[in-house]
Amino acid sequence: MAESIPASHGDHEVGHHEEQGFVSKYLLSTDHKVIAMQYMFTGMAMAVIGGFFAYAFRMQLAFPGMDVPGWGLVTPNDYNALVTNHGAIMIFWVAMPVLIAAFGNYLIPLMVGCDDMVFPRLNRLSYQIFLLSAIVLMASFFVYGGAFGGAWTMYPPLSAKAEYSLTQLGSTIFVLAVALEFVAFLMGGINFITTAMNSRAPGMKLYDVPMVVWMIVVASILFMASVGPLIAGAIMLLFDQNLGTAFFDPDRAGDPILWQHLFWFFGHPEVYVVLLPATGIVAEVITTFSRKKLLAYRTILYTVFGTGVLSFTVWAHHQFVAGIDPRMAHVFTVTTLLISVPIAEMMFVYIGTLYGGSIQYTTPMLWALGFLVTFLIGGVTGIFLGASGADIYFHDTYFVLAHFHYTFFPIAIIGTFAGVTYWFPKMFGRMMNETLGKIHFWGTFIPFNAIFLPLFYLGVAGQHRRIYDYSAFPELAQYQDIRVFATSALLVMLAFQVVFLWNFFHSMFRGEKAGANPWKANSLEWAAPSPPPHGNFPDGLPECHRGPYEFSHPDREEDYWPQNQPA
């Protein structure tokens, strides 16, 4: 085979690589696995910051005017900046880098059976731009006027004019950071798509590609196709803020609604951009631990394509009462409810995959099942918001907030934990502690529901969003006990994350050694040693002989059948 790597160079620096120092090996490396780790650890650090913000503003909500330990008094300005940056960080600097960039970088080359991304240096550049964007965002907290507090949606005129937002520099930095982040992910996306399309192992047909790779690729395409208008919008908004143009300024013939269209044309597909990789991870985990073939591989693919296409036609359901032509709401109600069909179908296929299985309740499996349970709630509550008649009441209440936390939390946190616990043995060559893993799962899963189920109730009771203190609203002030309860649950959940951090870092160095394929799974990454060396497959790049989900095949003694094993 012309492309096999010479194996004589030892396990570490295969072929063309020389011994490297710490900086060039871990900070400037072009190895996709190192870049994946960079994304993951940056994402984890940002998650700690985003979680800390949540802690600070939830404490203020539960105990208004309190000196929050670690933050101090949460002023109205602080509160707005905290919720704004919590939202932006969790979506742009946690969900996207971890789910798409970290798992995409780590898994795509391994799962399609090649040695690296097709453009390693572009990959490194995209991480560096991403890191820069994170630093730029954090800098906004230290400039005069403080960080931007006009919500992560950045609606003008509030975001465009300093005399309204009172954060001249903060708003500019926020928009700039978001735009930089988009550029980083566009570069990463081109890499993911091209690698998955072109660098598949010999014999790997399109329907032999593991679901998570498909999902990350489709997510990258969705991102690429939706983010352009918002990049254009961000440039226009930056000009409005700093050059005095009037694209979104109604006083000078601009149109603030235009921004909302540009934002949500990206903003709604963005939900599926982060959702799809998480569902891909779940597909890998539930097939492996129920020892079952995915019930309907192609059906899932079609639902993904259907969802992807439909996701471009639903954006204005975020703007039903925003002053758009009310007749448009009819169209967007129909498209929004239509999207429930492919998503429900996908859920049914996942749940149906369990049928006839032999389910092992390992930690990753618990996370994957937990994803389905919570995402189901997130999905069904979305129907209320997509139906125009009901949305008049629910728009901008805590019902919306609870709904999207029931979608984003399963995606960004539960899905990520499923992926991290599942591929940890591959990444670091050691197993995580199962008992601690299960304690962490229940310590996250139960408090999560305890935080957000009550918030549905508050939303139904008419509590509106982004208010730092409800004491001015007698009808809402009476629900203070519920707020205290939700905040307490948050504290419990945050406390349990310490278990994870301990388990993660302790297992990384002290965990039980894992073999190449500890879960007896099929896809190609398990054919590489754990952790895979630079170049991934020291014994030559694998060939693919079958689909990734051939579990419990009746002709075989063993209940798995790796993709690279000749028939």
The interface with another protein within residues 214-243 (CB under 8 A) comprises: 224-233, 235-236, 239, 243
Among 82, 295, 304, 432, binds another protein (CB under 8 A): 295
Does the protein bind another protein through residue 116 (CB under 8 A)?
A: yes
Does the protein bind another protein through residue 481 (CB under 8 A)?
A: no
Q: Read off the tokens for 18.
A: 């020389």
DSSP per-residue letters across 199-246: -PPTT--GGGS-HHHHHHHHHHHHHHHHHHHHHHHHHHHHHHHHT---
Binding to another protein in span 435-474, by CB under 8 A: 460-462, 464-470, 472-474
For residue 562, CA distances in Å to 298, 354, 517 come to 20, 20, 10
For residues 80 and 503, which CB has a smaller minimum distance to another protein in the complex? Answer: 80
Binding to another protein in span 249-278, by CB under 8 A: 250-258, 262
Q: Which string of x and - marks every residue 53-92 that binds another protein (by CB under 8 A)?
A: ----------------------xxx--x------------
Beta-bridge partner residues of 397: 464
Helix (H, G, I), strand (E, B) or coil at 325: coil
Confirm if 217 and 559 have CB atoms less than 8 A apart: no
For residues 149 and 425, which CB has a smaller minimum distance to another protein in the complex? Answer: 149
Beta-bridge partner residues of 534: 13
For residues 131 and 396, which CB has a smaller minimum distance to another protein in the complex? Answer: 396
Does the protein bind another protein through residue 540 (CB under 8 A)?
A: no
Return all residues near 481 (Cβ < 8 A) that are at least 6 apart: none
Among 11, 142, 198, 515, binds another protein (CB under 8 A): 198
For residue 21, CA distances in Å to 25, 26, 27, 94, 534 come to 6, 8, 10, 29, 14
Segment contacting another protein (CB under 8 A): 134-142, 245-253, 428-436, 508-516? 245-253
For residues 393 and 502, which CB has a smaller minimum distance to another protein in the complex? Answer: 393
Residue whose tokens read 């465009």: 160
Confirm if 134 and 49 have CB atoms less than 8 A apart: no
Rounded Cα distance between 316 and 314, Å, is 6
Among 9, 17, 25, 520, binds another protein (CB under 8 A): 17
Among 27, 135, 309, 334, binds another protein (CB under 8 A): 334
Binding to another protein in span 170-189, by CB under 8 A: 186, 189
Binding to another protein in span 346-385, by CB under 8 A: 347-349, 351-352, 354-361, 369, 372-373, 376-377, 380-381, 383-384
For residues 275 and 300, which CB has a smaller minimum distance to another protein in the complex? Answer: 300
Element of type H or E holding 346: helix 340-353
Report CA torsion sign: 381, 385, 388, 391. Answer: positive
Does the protein bind another protein through residue 24 (CB under 8 A)?
A: no
Return all residues near 10 (Cβ < 8 A) that are at least 6 apart: none
For residue 237, the minimal CB distance to another protein (Å) is 11
For residue 412, the minimal CB distance to another protein (Å) is 22
Binding to another protein in span 392-421, by CB under 8 A: 392-397
Closest CA to 528 of 29, 5, 3: 5
Q: Read off the tokens for 510.
A: 């002290």
Does the protein bind another protein through residue 290 (CB under 8 A)?
A: yes
Segment contacting another protein (CB under 8 A): 94-102, 130-138, 338-346, 488-496? 338-346
For residues 465 and 506, which CB has a smaller minimum distance to another protein in the complex? Answer: 465
Return all residues near 458 (Cβ < 8 A) that are at least 6 apart: 397, 398, 402, 476, 479, 482, 483
Report CA Rg, the chain.
24
Does the protein bind another protein through residue 541 (CB under 8 A)?
A: yes
Closest CA to 241 of 182, 180, 165, 178: 165
Rounded Cα distance between 51 and 7, Å, is 45
For residues 332 and 500, which CB has a smaller minimum distance to another protein in the complex? Answer: 332
For residue 203, the minimal CB distance to another protein (Å) is 10
For residue 250, the minimal CB distance to another protein (Å) is 3
Segment contacting another protein (CB under 8 A): 327-335, 422-430, 443-451, 512-520? 327-335
Does the protein bind another protein through residue 291 (CB under 8 A)?
A: yes
For residue 367, the minimal CB distance to another protein (Å) is 14
**Ramachandran assignment for 466, one of left (phi > 0), alpha (psi -120 to 50 degrees), beta (any other):** left
Does the protein bind another protein through residue 30 (CB under 8 A)?
A: yes
Does the protein bind another protein through residue 340 (CB under 8 A)?
A: yes
Among 131, 138, 139, 337, binds another protein (CB under 8 A): 337
For residues 131 and 351, which CB has a smaller minimum distance to another protein in the complex? Answer: 351
Binding to another protein in span 127-156, by CB under 8 A: 149-151, 155
Q: How many residues does the chain have?
A: 567
Q: Is 219 exposed, middle or buried (0-12, 13-18, 19+ CB in 10 A)?
A: buried
Rounded Cα distance between 322 and 330, Å, is 14
DSSP per-residue letters across 330-345: HHHHHHHHHTHHHHHH
For residue 168, the minimal CB distance to another protein (Å) is 13
Closest CA to 155 of 254, 243, 55, 58: 254
Q: Read off the tokens for 237.
A: 């908004």
* Cα 260-266-268 angle, rounded to 5 deg: 90
What number of chain residues touch another protein (CB under 8 A)? Answer: 147
For residues 173 and 541, which CB has a smaller minimum distance to another protein in the complex? Answer: 541
For residue 208, CA distances in Å to 74, 116, 201, 248, 524 come to 53, 19, 10, 48, 11
Does the protein bind another protein through residue 204 (CB under 8 A)?
A: yes
Among 71, 138, 139, 194, binds another protein (CB under 8 A): 194
For residue 209, the minimal CB distance to another protein (Å) is 10
